[in-house]
Amino acid sequence: MRVKIALLEKGIEVQYKEEKDVFEDKNKSELLLNSNPIHKKVPVLIHNGKTICESLIILEYIDEVWKQEQQLFSADPYCRANARFWIDFFDKKITSCAKKLWASKGEEQGAAKEEFLEFLKVLENELGEKPYFGGDHFALLDIALIPITCRFYTYEKLCKFSVEEECPKLMEWVRRCNMRDSVSKTLPDPLKVFDFVLEVKKRYQIE
């Protein structure tokens, strides 16, 4: 989703290939396994016959190659470092916690819920009164963070909380971002995400 949003923001057309199933290595396409043999994960960008892996690295590549379009990374080194810091925080802390919201139960799920809400509050605090994380313009950090928001509905249903009640400013930012074509065309319908997660829970017998 990060890469799709960045490409749409830049107006770059690509041939998009979706993996049918990224949960099991045996179901991954030859193209994915050959393009990203180290991690075997999506996304992968293939440009001029060369592969680029890892979403943040792909965003950086896109921004450097298509320089003439609206820049995703700030020209200011401190702002770039700050955005990278928060993306690192998100990737290291929030994604593993978010997985526990749907893939665990009982006490573990309860603890994950508390931790997740704390993380959202930290992000809301970083957003402050700004319309976007980087300031007045939708940019790198917004692109990196917005994809998880299509799972909020799922987390709310499974763990019984409301992001709107806990973090109203963050939800204003979500709505603001969703007014952009790049975001609304990329993020899946939260209800479909919920159905998908229920299917996955069944598949792995997490009830």
Ligand X SMILES: N[C@@H](CCC(=O)N[C@@H](CS)C(=O)NCC(=O)O)C(=O)O
Residues 90-129 that bind ligand X (CB under 6 A): 91
CA distance 193 to 196: 5
For 133, list phi and psi in degrees, rounded to 5.
Answer: -60, -35
Overall residue count recorded for the chain in this entry: 207
The contact mask relative to ligand X for 9-28 (x = CB under 6 A, - = no) is -------------x------
Q: How far apart are CA 34 and CA 14, in angstroms?
A: 19
CB of 56 to ligand X, least distance (A): 6
Q: Which of 29, 35, 42, 110 binds ligand X (CB under 6 A)?
A: 42
Work out whether 69 is an interface residue with ligand X (CB under 6 A).
no
| Closer of 162 and 206 to ligand X (Cβ) | 206
Minimal distance in Å, beta carbon 58 to ligand X? 7
CB of 127 to ligand X, least distance (A): 21
Query: Binder to ligand X among 7, 10, 55, 194 (CB under 6 A)?
Result: 55
CB 2 within 8 A of CB 72: no
Which of residues 29, 35, 51, 54 is near ligand X by CB under 6 A? Answer: 54
Q: Are 101 and 113 in contact (CB under 8 A)?
A: yes
Distance of CA 80 to the CA centre of its chain: 18
- Distance spanning both ends of the chain, measured CA to CA: 28
Site residues (vs ligand X, CB under 6 A): 22, 40-43, 54-55, 91
